[in-house]
Structure 1
């Protein structure tokens, strides 16, 4: 069975733990099928093949700097009958043509915020449709903010997919609303509420070998913070200082070391992403018990999380790893997009009170202390939920592989039982009160952000057009000067020709008069 799997992975200069974790699981699940052959669609094929051990092709490539019209034109060109009738060697289209099934691996890229990734996924959907290949989509957050034209693109994907897994309730509801009403019950057959695929990530011996020599302390908190403050409006230096102060107080309150675990960065070479923020936090902290870890593979990151007494993060997959390992978790939301994803991972596990909006930043430490204080109770609940979550996600993949093979797919079981936790503490009340206003503000901030991005792109395109126009006008003026000079030269030449012609006529007339006089004199005198 030949699979083509698209994921936002395989970047040469940036390793993203969450995206790679979901692709790791997709490759693991598919590879368990004895006859499976996998081709990945990625950022850099050599990097991906080195990591996953399977062939890869380079994705089409849509730029976040393009206008929607430029992206739409590229999409139309790459998926035209002319292009697909004879795919280029090594292209995505050739890989899809030679496959038997197309899979879009987990991610949160089907949103106006990352519209360039949405176009990539629409392109492979159209290719799958053209070559009559089934499309399976797993572990997705969609939206939550979608421009009308982006919603139409998303509807095209879910409208063709055989199965579509949504990893949070908001995405599930949005997708159900987008499914075409082609026949009764179609949405039940296509869109399912699932877990994040990363709950199935296995550390393995290779990951444990990565941790040798790191000398992890016996009691530690694992902390993962994004490299920027999201839509909070907090300045970067204030954000770094707030993290350092919070983690210092948390280290004292729990009598534990704090390990900063980057979820984006470079496995080799110059530090990027979360690495830069982590180093700045360590420099700003008032304790030596805060330490920045190097970038590591997703499997190793999951193993580090499993050994912690607590996970505190603004990173979504840090919460996913924690829940899967039955580790108490506190998530800090920096945007509405973050809130939606955190709820997807934590609400079913009974951890909703531990999702803290940035506007309630002062409640992070009390929430963390409370989560650790309930350690045994929380871990017991999480262990039961995590086991049922893994069972469910394995069953989901059994269904997907059954659909890929053309057999009658096994029915998708009911989503695991949800747990609820009611906490009557001042910090929890403050968190609940902050969230309503935070989410409303964050939603508007998201809209403002992508509208501003549209404005920036249009202004950039306008500036480029004006620059081209200026060059064209300059070239036109230069050409006009050349024409004027040629015209002047022609006129001068013609003027000189006219003068010479007049001189020649005058000389000829003079000779004619002279000759006439000579003949007249001869005639009078006879000689």
Structure 2
């Protein structure tokens, strides 16, 4: 059969992992007698590489959310018979003809089926739609699904899975999501990564690793960690490993431009420059060479995925440090496939945000890795034949599905908890270390007590709620409890969101359904009463955090026991909702001039919103709960009471996003817009309450004096403003007279200077007479 193979190959930035998947998939298909033609991006062909002799152009999608959604709908229209939905020169028509000439489509492995890379998900869906329209069977193999999926992208993923005769997903997390999306699909199978085996000798031959070699691969972008902190952490791990093992160091990049470098390669040079030991920085190389570097090393340290796949198959001691939720589910899955549970350690667990460097966990983690070296090497060596055998068996099944057009569903699949090669995972770390890792990962099998209670108020906004829940699941600190307060909204919709994430949430989410709404403050108080953690944050369903918000704020409060709360730098994000998701339109700092949290700054106006703050539960003992008699300004009243009784810290780092939709109406609107009249009214009521109390205690003398004095100042300011405006009007009139005398203003000497002078004067008038922020 002639098989079209879709992988992310021939990109401007060479990606060893994507190319390795394509290499091994091509080998295995050809070994089963199939002719393979790749879909290619045709941008570059790797270091020293050349264009394939035969290929099909990839159906490259635009990145912006609305553009990719529009293009997908246009493709659907063309496939439904409306060829005018796209210009005749669009690449789609040529791709249709190319695919008409093949017998089947295989969508190769990778991490493409998620909202993080939503355009890649749409590319695969659209290509599968073309193939099925042409009557070709489609098989999907070796992919990761999720974990980040918007509701719209979940539907796209569901449709893609249903188009496929046979589906292979490379980790247990992905297969669970797939079975939730398509419970009746006859052939959802957990497999292995399609690149497994690259860099190893032919099956059955012995393979030895060099215990004196440490292979390091670090992703060029350390997000969400600050770059300098990421480099310091990496150096600490490398130096600790070398100090204990004496190994020499090779830095093996997996993503970089073959002509201009950057990416992993640039970061590797920075790391090598900061190391106190020698290290060899290798160039970006073809996938076969890069894999061979990793598989010959006795020790592998990586924040990227494929060195974990290569290293475990080779029998190396692999230290996998995923950077985020996306990386953790994939790396944890790869280690589980090799029979090691709870083995991937979030990089953030080794980061101390207070010192901006490595944490005290680096040494015990490296010590534990070395202590398990011999036992783990023996385990992985015995597992290798089963891993490689499972990979070959999977491709036998793929081949049969392509030839028959249907999948054999009689294979040994454990629908409850599938494992790709049938290896029963054993817990990697001893209990003492697992207890120390528990705040950062649930995979170690130890449940940490919650350090933070997150109260999430929601009402009839399931799409926003889904985003907010995933926002919490993406936090680097995972020792939280979430109480969702459904404030008299659509209860079943809330329950559906929670059920969708129940496996990953692992019993950390509780839902309170309030039959009658009595205000946001009452909802917050209800959540407080239902939670127990020593710190609290109000996370409304439409706002978001930086992934390190909880880690940084918890660390700050631990370092500052005298403070009752901490506020972070916050950005206002204007967004709008589209049928396929939310689109950010602009972002700017909220009270960007603030350098701390002081009561004097809050007297005029509230300087932070709930999403900006983490506070100790104990402050409620003196401050009390949120004032339910002050609708919509209860958080402001709480902040005033808090600041009058305790010190509040400030982190000048943009860790919170206050999301606003100025044009939205109904349930999707923000209270500050939809309830602006209520805000003004209750703000006045709050001030009146405090003013009356002050007058009762101190009399009316000072307020009367200040009122008259302020009136006089305002009157004088108005007079100055009017005088300057009259002068400016005369100057503008003079300018008009001079312009009227000529056809071209630029021909008048000095006109430009006059215009600039008038503009400067206008700006000066505005600046001098603009109320300060404290008066706004």
Q: Same fold, TM exceeding 0.5?
A: yes
1:271 aligns with 2:246: no
Count residues with an aligned counterpart: 438
- What runs of 5+ residues in structure 2 fail to find an aligned partner? 203-208, 351-358, 414-419, 443-449, 452-468, 477-543, 548-571, 577-581, 588-776
Distance 1:149 1:408 in 2: 28
The change in CA–CA distance for 1:444 and 1:376 in structure 2 (over 3 A counts) is closer
Structure 2 counterpart of 1:282: 272
Superposed, 1:341-420 pairs within 5 Å as 341-361=330-350, 362=359, 363-406=361-404, 411-414=410-413, 415=420, 416-420=422-426
Superposed, 1:140-155 pairs within 5 Å as 140-155=143-158
Structure 1 counterpart of 2:221: 228
1:238 aligns with 2:229: yes
- Post-superposition offset of 1:369: 3.4
Do the aligned residues in 2 keep the contact of 1:24 with 1:52 (CA within 8 Å)? no
Superposed, 1:236-315 pairs within 5 Å as 236-267=227-258, 269-288=259-278, 290-315=279-304
Distance 2:103 2:241 in 1: 52
Do the aligned residues in 1 keep the contact of 2:249 with 2:280 (CA within 8 Å)? yes
Distance 1:136 1:453 in 2: 41
1:325 aligns with 2:314: yes
RCO (CA 8 Å, sep 6+): is it higher in 1 or 2?
Answer: 1
Do the aligned residues in 1 keep the contact of 2:575 with 2:586 (CA within 8 Å)? no
Q: Deviations along 1:397-421, whole A, 9 cap, x unmatched?
A: 1111111112776654454122303
Do the aligned residues in 2 keep the contact of 1:14 with 1:264 (CA within 8 Å)? yes
Structure 1 counterpart of 2:3: 3
Distance 1:304 1:115 in 2: 32
- Post-superposition offset of 1:343: 1.3
Instruction: Report the TM-score when normalising by structure 2.
Output: 0.52
- Post-superposition offset of 1:191: 0.6
The change in CA–CA distance for 1:84 and 1:259 in structure 2 (over 3 A counts) is farther
Do the aligned residues in 1 keep the contact of 2:19 with 2:287 (CA within 8 Å)? yes
Structure 1 counterpart of 2:100: 97
Distance 2:254 2:121 in 1: 22
Distance 1:423 1:46 in 2: 42
Moved more, 132-141 or 251-260: 251-260
Q: Deviations along 1:451-472, whole A, 9 cap, x unmatched?
A: 97977954279xxxxxxxxxxx
Detail structure 1 runs of 4+ shifted over 3 Å in the superposition.
48-54, 82-90, 202-205, 407-415, 425-428, 436-442, 444-458
Distance 1:99 1:460 in 2: 45
Q: Which of 431, 439, 443 lines up with 2:437 in the alignment? A: 431
Distance 2:216 2:134 in 1: 45
Q: Hey, which of these two has a bigger chunk of helix by percent? A: 1
Secondary structure at 2:3 match in 1: strand
Do the aligned residues in 2 keep the contact of 1:45 with 1:56 (CA within 8 Å)? no
The change in CA–CA distance for 1:445 and 1:377 in structure 2 (over 3 A counts) is closer
- What runs of 5+ residues in structure 1 fail to find an aligned partner? 206-215, 462-527
1:56 aligns with 2:55: yes
Structure 2 counterpart of 1:72: 69
Superposed, 1:190-205 pairs within 5 Å as 190-202=187-199
The change in CA–CA distance for 1:327 and 1:350 in structure 2 (over 3 A counts) is same
Superposed, 1:454-473 pairs within 5 Å as 457-459=583-585
The change in CA–CA distance for 1:318 and 1:364 in structure 2 (over 3 A counts) is farther
The change in CA–CA distance for 1:174 and 1:166 in structure 2 (over 3 A counts) is same
Q: Hey, which of these two has a bigger chunk of strand by percent? A: 2
Structure 1 counterpart of 2:481: none
- Post-superposition offset of 1:283: 0.8
Q: Deviations along 1:276-326, whole A, 9 cap, x unmatched?
A: 1000001111122x2211112222222112221211111111111111111
Instruction: Report the TM-score when normalising by structure 1.
Output: 0.75
Q: Which of 312, 337, 350 lines up with 2:326 in the alignment? A: 337
Do the aligned residues in 2 keep the contact of 1:41 with 1:92 (CA within 8 Å)? no
- Post-superposition offset of 1:346: 0.5
Do the aligned residues in 2 keep the contact of 1:60 with 1:92 (CA within 8 Å)? yes
- Post-superposition offset of 1:339: 1.0
The change in CA–CA distance for 1:389 and 1:263 in structure 2 (over 3 A counts) is same
1:29 aligns with 2:18: no
Structure 2 counterpart of 1:157: 160
Structure 1 counterpart of 2:40: 42
Moved more, 129-138 or 419-428: 419-428
- Post-superposition offset of 1:138: 0.3
Distance 2:94 2:384 in 1: 39
Do the aligned residues in 2 keep the contact of 1:7 with 1:23 (CA within 8 Å)? yes
Distance 1:293 1:422 in 2: 31
Distance 1:315 1:77 in 2: 36
